[in-house]
Amino acid sequence: MPFDLKTHLSDLCDTPGPSGYEGPVRELVQGVWSDLTDESYTDAMGSLVTIKRSTVVDGKARTILLTAHVDEIGLMVTKLDGAFVRVTGIGGVDHRVLPGQLVTVHGERDLPGVVGSRPPHVTPVSERDKYVPLDELVIDLGLSARQVARLVSVGDVVSFDQSPVGLQGKLLTAKALDNRASVAALTVCLEALQTRTHAWDVVAAATVQEEVTMGGGQTAAYHVQPDLAVVVDVTFGVGTDVSERDGFPLGEGPALGLGPNIHTKVFHRLRETARDMEMDHHVEPLPGYSGTEAVAVQVSREGIPTGLVSIPLRNMHTPVEIVSLEDVERTGRLLAEFVVGLNSHTLDELRLD
């Protein structure tokens, strides 16, 4: 069956996987990537690591690590309050948009629910224009207190229940596009490499816990010991109150990170690859902490030359994030072309001394 990016990305976003509980979505990714790679395993942290061997070198080849975190933001049960459930956030949940959201509580079985709060009619006038704090919101499962006590426990995970919706202009809105869009881009890359010759081994990792600890990227990089790495994530897309000064337009290509968290020569090589492909792209200045697992990968062991490619995304850390399918596809093709260009001289060319 021909690869359909929209269907693949929709399946990824539909599958729950908050930080630390990525099992279901990891299994989905493994089912797809196992057909595109030569070897796969799940490490002790829960990251999926797959290996596509060099098509040129017979034996030990240089290794490039491509990472995209597979976890999403979510909620966790903190208290049973009669018939209702109180929660806290997993990752940087934007609590401003929570009232009225559909959710799934993963208790004794998956339970559909809705995030509720006080009606404005009974809210003090002084508080009506304020955002409701997360600890004042509840999840209503439509169950009795007795049923809730039997089916839900403190510590149960809650995911958002927002089905993907195709918008105009090849845009897709869904929950968990941060960072399932990048996971899909790695799939595009692996698909493209099926018919290409590459001298380096390619390790594609769907990493865990980026939203809370960056532990998956850190441990995967430590274990794989790659010669080179490229992290794929999302960045701010131009949209509501996000100008072109603060973000990047959707549908006009990926953003290439540049700053102290990024190896300068890896950046230049990525940009040259994009230019050779005549691919629209942007430069993202990152003067400090990038907010991605490039922070963890870059300093693994004695240091790894690391690049960062980001997909513009609107409404970050909400259940209605938006990306352009064209940007996801371009990112995957850029990564594949970058991999194909690696050779026996690459590491010497990346030396900083």
Query: Sign of the CA dihedral 298, 263, 307, 51?
Result: negative
> Residue 107: what pLDDT?
97
Tens of pLDDT, residue by residue over 286-340, are 999 999 999 999 999 999 999 999 999 999 999 999 999 999 999 999 999 999 9
H/E stretch holding 272 reads helix 264-276
- 1 pLDDT more than 60: no
Sign of the torsion formed by the C-alpha atoms of 264, 266, 269 and 270? negative
User: Domain limits of the chain?
Assistant: 5-72+175-350, 74-160
Task: Please check whether residue 28 is in contact with residue 168, taking contact to mean a CB–CB distance below 8 angstroms.
Answer: no
Q: Residue 191: phi, psi to the nearest 5?
A: -60, -45
Digit-coded pLDDT (tens) for 239-290: 877 788 889 999 999 999 999 999 999 999 999 999 999 999 999 999 999 9
Phi, psi (deg, nearest 5) at residue 106: -90, 80
Mean of the per-residue pLDDT values of the chain: 94
> What pLDDT score was predicted for residue 126?
65
Query: What is the predicted pLDDT for the residue at 183?
Result: 98
pTM above 0.85, yes or no: yes
Cα-to-chain-centroid distance, residue 231: 10
Q: How many CB atoms lie within 10 A of CB 46?
A: 21
CATH number of 74-160, picked from 1.10.238.10, 3.40.50.740, 3.30.750.80, 2.40.30.40: 2.40.30.40
Residue type, 203: V
* DSSP annotation of 18: B
User: pLDDT at position 169, please?
Assistant: 87
Question: What pLDDT is attached to residue 130?
Answer: 74
Q: What are 313's two structure tokens? A: 């995304």
Please write the tens of the pLDDT for every residue from 171-224. 999 999 999 999 999 999 999 999 999 999 999 999 999 999 999 999 999 999
What is the per-residue burial (b if ≥16 Cβ within 10 Å, else e) of 80-111? beebbbbbebbbebebeebeebebbbbbeeeb
User: What's the whole-number mean pLDDT along residues 49-62?
Assistant: 92
Residue-level pLDDT at 108:
97
CB 59 within 8 A of CB 209: no
Are 215 and 76 a contacting pair, CB within 8 Å? Answer: no
Q: Does domain 5-72+175-350 have CATH number 3.40.630.10?
A: yes
Which uninterrupted H or E stretch holds 24? helix 23-33
Instruction: Measure CA of the first residue to CA of the last residue in the chain; give whole Å.
Output: 48
122-178: pLDDT as tens digits: 667 766 667 788 888 999 999 999 999 999 999 999 999 999 999 998 999 999 999
Q: Please state, in angstroms and rounded to a whole number, the distance separating the CA atoms of residues 306 and 339.
A: 13
Which of 3-7, 57-61, 307-311 holds the top average pLDDT?
Answer: 307-311
Q: What is the pLDDT of residue 39?
A: 96
pLDDT at 10 over 90: yes
Matching CATH topology for 5-72+175-350 and 74-160? no
Alpha carbons 31 and 130: distance in angstroms, whole number: 45
